[in-house]
């Protein structure tokens, strides 16, 4: 009887378990939910990302060129990309496909070379890595840590490696993994959008020409329709542009142009102001000496009303770039040496804002500091870029000479810390033309003056050269040097990424740019403790599991003998 009851109980337990399993599977097939138990929710996609993926109408095909024999760090990046794309496919199972490609897999060197040129031409940046073979030998390998995303007839390149030479490799890798979702989904959104947002470079005030901003224009064209044009006092001529870029004007703005820009801002328009209040001629400087002269642009009152003032100063910083200086004697053969040039600060961007997060150092040329003014509670002001703790200002007019490279800087003189160079303004701005007569502008319709803006944004930068790329004359025409690349030292700075982030932040209406602010904590092992305690933990990790299994088996045996005795 006892054996029959026990058998019956086991059958009931089995049937109950099967019923529960069937019910759980049925409910799971009807109700979709994913659990992320990490503290910072690193495996949880943002709501904006999920909406974009669900709304895809056609197939997005992603080719990731990071495969094959890779160093440990790049293998981690490869794994993180796979996990993210698998997560993407959960929300777009039919419309997202991907493959991983090793660009050096083909044994034919000509085919490899053609592929390299193709990838570089579309915008992927190569890097050299050291690969260790099984026999211990090492070799150099070219990798393209990026992806090409295709949607219908359009392609877009995404570079996935953050390579800040001032940071350890594992930190660069960590920051690269943090930004994967933003890099992928922002390009997918751009390619799949029915309409393309427009941005404009202003002309007519001596701004940088199309060649001098050609490199950033090419990159902006991956996300926007980029136009150039003169306002010419035409009211409403900026309407329809998501953002306007004013890149290093040198001529004063007319009241009519000021009014057009002002009313564009009042209607919610965004402006990236890249200004040089002090002019310096580099051509004259390389002759030995030049002058720094204040150059008012007739927009000082306008910016003051919005909440900032660009000072007629030049900033000098001990944390600076170098320039080549001839140290040879007069009449002798030139002896070029690199010397610190304190007028070219190298700015370390902070990690507390999406515009500046995970950026390489940014090169400034003859920058000016900015003050925040006014107490308008409707305006939120954020310093995006600032000097190091060891900086100073030089008021214009001033003489600037290459002889300054021969002097050792004194920390007592460089006693100004964190001078603001770029400020983000967000909120409702007051028009500079409030209680003033409206200038004579061209308009085919009645002017509807707005004294207070809609909620909008602008960024004011005390350096116009931050967006300028060098241009080299060649027999085949002008050649544009990549923005942020220094020809003398072959260093690359974060200028291009800063401008792209700034424009994307200004134009972002979905909150997608906030993904750049996500932070995954680095949980690094204590290397010293590893060396000291490695043997102990090896024994624990090997012996403890075995002892637990033996103890569990012995316990089950004792329990069964006592129960069925």
What's the pLDDT at 29?
A: 60
Helix (H, G, I), strand (E, B) or coil at 375: coil
Hey, how many other C-beta atoms are within 10 angstroms of the C-beta on 250? 14
d(CA 197, CA 225): 6
Range 58-91 burial, b when 16+ CB lie within 10 A, else e? eebebbbbbbbbbbebbebbbebbeebbebbeeb
Q: What is the rounded radius of gyration, in angstroms, for the C-alpha atoms of the chain?
A: 30
CA angle 92, 95, 98 (to 5 degrees): 95
- Residue 557 corresponds to which tokens in the numbers above? 């045996």
d(CA 216, CA 335): 34
The full set of domain ranges for the chain reads: 47-191, 195-435+451-514
Residue keyed to tokens 């709501």: 47
Hey, how many other C-beta atoms are within 10 angstroms of the C-beta on 50? 17
- Residue 12 corresponds to which tokens in the numbers above? 């009931």
Q: What is the pLDDT of residues 3-39, one digit of tens each?
A: 666 677 778 877 888 888 888 777 766 554 555 545 5
Say which residues have a Cβ less than 8 Å from residue 518's Cβ, sequence separation at least 6: 40, 178, 181, 182
Q: What is the pLDDT of residues 123-133, one digit of tens each?
A: 888 888 777 76
Looking at domain 47-191, which CATH architecture does it have? 3-Layer(aba) Sandwich (3.40)
Where the chain has pLDDT below 70, the residues are 1-6, 28-43, 133-137, 165-166, 328-331, 514-532, 563-565
The topology under which CATH files domain 195-435+451-514 is: Rossmann fold (3.40.50)
What's the pLDDT at 522?
A: 46
**Nearest to 197, CA basis, from 507, 556, 458:** 507
Three-class HEC string of 331-388: CCCCCEEEEEEEEEEEECCCCCCCCCCCCCCEECCCCCCEEECCCCCCEEEEEEEECC
How many Cα atoms are found within 13 Å in the side-chain-facing hemisphere of 117?
6
């Amino acid at each position: 009887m006892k054996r029959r009851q026990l058998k019956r109980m086991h059958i009931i337990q089995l049937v109950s378990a099967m019923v529960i399993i069937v019910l759980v599977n049925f409910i799971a097939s009807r109700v979709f939910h994913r659990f992320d138990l990490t503290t910072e929710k690193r495996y949880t996609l943002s709501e904006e990302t999920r909406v974009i993926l669900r709304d895809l109408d056609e197939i997005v095909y992603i080719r990731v060129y990071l495969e094959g024999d890779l160093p440990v760090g790049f293998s981690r990046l490869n794994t993180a990309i796979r996990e993210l794309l698998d997560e993407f496919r959960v929300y777009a199972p039919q419309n997202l496909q991907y493959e991983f490609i090793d660009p050096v897999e083909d044994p034919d060197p000509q085919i490899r070379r053609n592929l390299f040129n193709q990838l570089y031409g579309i915008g992927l940046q190569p890097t050299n890595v050291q690969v260790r073979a099984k026999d211990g030998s090492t070799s150099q390998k070219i990798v393209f840590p990026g992806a090409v995303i295709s949607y219908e007839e359009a392609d877009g390149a995404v570079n996935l490696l953050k390579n800040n030479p001032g940071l350890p490799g594992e930190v660069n890798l960590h920051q690269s993994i943090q930004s994967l979702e933003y890099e992928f989904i922002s390009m997918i959104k751009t390619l799949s959008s029915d309409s393309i947002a427009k941005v404009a470079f202003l002309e007519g005030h001596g701004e940088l020409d199309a060649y001098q901003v050609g490199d950033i224009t090419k990159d902006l064209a991956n996300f926007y329709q980029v136009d150039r044009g003169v306002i010419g006092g035409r009211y409403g001529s900026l309407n329809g542009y998501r953002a306007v870029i004013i890149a290093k004007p040198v001529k004063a703005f007319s009241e009519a142009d000021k009014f057009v820009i002002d009313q564009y801002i009042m209607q919610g328009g965004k402006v990236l102001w890249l200004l040089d209040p002090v002019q310096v001629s580099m051509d004259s400087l390389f002759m030995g000496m030049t002058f720094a002269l204040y150059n008012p642009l007739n927009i000082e009152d306008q910016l003051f009303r919005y909440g900032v003032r660009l000072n007629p100063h030049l900033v000098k910083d001990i944390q600076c770039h170098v320039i080549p200086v001839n140290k040879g004697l007069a009449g002798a053969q030139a002896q070029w040496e690199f010397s610190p040039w304190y007028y070219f600060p190298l700015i370390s961007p902070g990690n507390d804002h999406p515009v500046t997060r995970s950026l390489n150092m940014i090169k400034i040329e003859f920058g000016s500091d900015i003050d925040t003014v006014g107490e308008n509670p409707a305006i939120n002001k954020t310093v995006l870029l600032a000097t190091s703790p060891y900086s100073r200002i030089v008021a214009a007019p001033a003489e600037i000479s290459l002889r300054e490279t021969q002097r050792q800087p004194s920390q007592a003189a460089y006693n100004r810390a964190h001078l603001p160079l770029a400020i983000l303004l967000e909120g409702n701005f007051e028009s500079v033309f409030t209680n003033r007569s409206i200038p004579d502008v061209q308009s085919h319709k009645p002017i509807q003056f707005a004294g207070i803006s809609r909620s909008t944004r602008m960024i004011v930068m005390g350096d116009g050269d931050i967006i300028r790329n060098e241009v080299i004359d060649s027999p085949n025409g002008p050649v544009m040097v990549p923005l942020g690349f220094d020809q003398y030292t072959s260093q690359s700075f974060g200028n291009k990424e800063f401008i792209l982030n700034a424009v994307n932040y200004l134009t972002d209406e979905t909150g997608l740019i906030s993904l750049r602010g996500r932070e995954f904590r680095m949980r690094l092992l204590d290397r010293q403790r590893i060396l000291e305690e490695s043997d102990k933990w090896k024994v624990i990790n090997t012996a403890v599991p075995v002892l637990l299994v033996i103890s569990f088996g012995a316990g089950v045996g004792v329990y069964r003998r006592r129960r069925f005795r």
